[in-house]
Structure 1
Amino acid sequence: MLVGSVREGRFAPVVARWFAELAEQDGRFTVEVIDLAEEPLPLALPPVPPAVDPEMPRPAQMAELTRRIAAADAYVVLTPEYNRSFPASLKAAIDWYYTEWAAKPIGFVGYSGATGGVLAIEQLRQIFGELHAHTVRDYVSFPRYYELFDADGTLKDPTGPARDAQALLDQLHWWGALLHTARHENPYAGTAH
């Protein structure tokens, strides 16, 4: 899971904890949480983007993040919605990589005051499509998230979100297994220029 918010006082850890616990309980996933607030991620990109030079050198402090992103067979991106979009930290994390996203499935969990992060999710679908990733149809959304969780970070009524999360996980597992096999049996060449 890629946690996209780095804002001070952010709500992302509450939602990330809830989703990660569900994914672990599912039993089909090894869940790793990559929290961008804890990653040394430069916002300034190199002069030659990874789409042109996928082997471009990255700063040494990004080695572990690069390893973790490259190793994953599937991703869940957790995004808040700020001003009808996603945070700059998330865009930077996406843009530092290119082939690492290719032919891998991506699911989304969003939260915001009004739309539940849906506008941010729809924009992210376009970006990941450009990177040759496959975004799964179902997602989890928390509109007015501040009313949905109690003071301890427990979801007051988990029925709807848990159902949505299960649909997302089912799709992520199916696509993840299929694309894992495909990448290993017939390496994806769609990112070659």
Structure 2
Amino acid sequence: MTTPIRIGLIQGSIREERFNDTIADWAARRLEGQGFSLRRIDPRDPDLLPLQTGDAAAAARLRERLSGLDGFVVVTPEYNHAAPGPLKTLIDAASAEWQARPVGLISYGGISGGLRASETLRPVFAELHAMTLRDTVSFAMPFDRFGEDGEMTSAEETARADAAMATFGASLAWWAGALRVARERRPYEKRAA
């Protein structure tokens, strides 16, 4: 029996009435259905929220939650053509925990579906020696497309989103598994620039 792939599902918003919970819950159901073991990481968690003011104890708690994971999925909204500042603060509060691990990006927002936010995160994770997946899942104007049960209301849109998520999950599984084996065989060492 193989060890399940452990994924950190990172929420990208701390806003009070955020839509992030709906998208993150939707993604979690699909990822768990694909066999991933999930650990939710929410920057609005009272233990992590002090990261936003540079709290060292909150940063240590974050690094502890990120440790031992095989990869990450970030669920981000797009605010003003970029990922939210609190998400960037969370990402910047760790370093070694990201290294040699895949990061999948799920975005949502206006007409662009949050894709510009995803693109702002790619160079950030590259600098942290993480590998972002090519395939993404995005939701354009999703705010009235989900029912109270957290599922999409249109069968056609559900089929498209589920197909995108299947491709995303297969890529995540491959990269997380391959990089886990690589780290076990030869620990990753960050090279000086």
Q: TM-score range by the shorter chain?
A: 0.7 to 0.9
Matched, 1:43 2:26: no
Answering whether residue 167 of structure 2 is matched by residue 164 of structure 1, we say no
Aligned residues: 180
Matched with 1:8 is 16
Structure 1 position 18, deviation (Å): 0.6
Measured on the aligned residues, the alpha-carbon RMSD in Å equals: 1.6
Following superposition, the deviation at residue 191 of structure 1 comes to 4.5
- The residue aligned with 1:97 is 94
Task: Provide closer, same or farther for how the CA distance between residues 184 and 124 of structure 1 changes in structure 2, counting only shifts above 3 A.
Answer: same
Q: Is the partner of 1:111 in helix, strand or coil?
A: strand
Partners of 1:112 and 1:140 in 2: CA distance = 12
Q: Corresponding residue for 1:183?
A: 183
Which residue does 1:153 correspond to in 2? 150
What residue number does 1:82 align with?
79
- Identify unmatched segments of 5+ residues in structure 1: 46-57
Whole-angstrom CA distance in 2 between matches of 1:149 and 1:103: 35
Structure 2, gaps ≥5 residues long: 1-8
2:29 paired with 1:32: no
1:44 positional shift:
4.3
Q: Say whether residues 1:116 and 2:123 are aligned partners.
A: no
Percent of aligned pairs sharing the same letter: 37
Q: Secondary structure at the match of 1:8?
A: coil
In structure 2, how many angstroms separate the alpha carbons of the residues matched to 1:177 and 1:192?
26
Relative to the length of structure 2, the TM-score reads 0.87
- Find the aligned partners of 1:147 and 1:40 in 2 and give their Cα distance: 28
Q: Which runs of 4+ in 1 moved over 4 A?
A: none
Greater mean alpha carbon deviation, residues 174-183 or residues 143-152: 143-152
How far apart, CA to CA, are the structure 1 residues paired with 2:58 and 2:117? Answer: 28
Secondary structure in 1 aligned to 2:134? Answer: coil
TM-score (norm. length: structure 1): 0.87
